[in-house]
Amino acid sequence: MKEIEYKFLVDHKKWEDLPKPSPELIVQGYLSSSIDCTVRVRIKGSNGYLTIKGKTEGVTRTEFEYEIPVNDAEEMIDLFTDKHIRKERFEILHCGRTWEVDVFQGNHEGLILAELEVESEGVKFDLPDWTTKDVSTDPNYYNAVLIEK
């Protein structure tokens, strides 16, 4: 399966003023991380996931994601990862598309990223006025890179 995703930084002031739904807490760690392949374990709310992602080319990469028992995800994170990312995810509807906005905690407190998955590269979409810089192709904003900072 292909994941085609755009990422944008978020204007803090406009984000504060935006009405939002309740967020879902995400905790994740990486079992393996290289430029060609990452293997991530994630707890999102009360669900666990194992995700394998291939090398990013432009804004596209191969992705396989499997739901796993949350207890297994917790144990894998505890046993096999020493660094974690914690963030709150908000799902915001804008012009008929669902944006996932991640508000990072811990070492990345203050970072807010908005992500939009689309059906094909180059598809046209309306940007919310609370987004700023496009960081879709900047590897510094990949979670697998952020976890090392």
Which residues are catalytically annotated? 30
Residue with tokens 């995700």: 51
The Cα-based distances of 11 to 59, 65, 66, 110 in angstroms read 22, 30, 33, 11
Name residues whose C-beta falls within 8 Å of residue 39's C-beta, 6 or more positions apart in sequence. Answer: 30, 31, 32, 33, 50, 51, 52
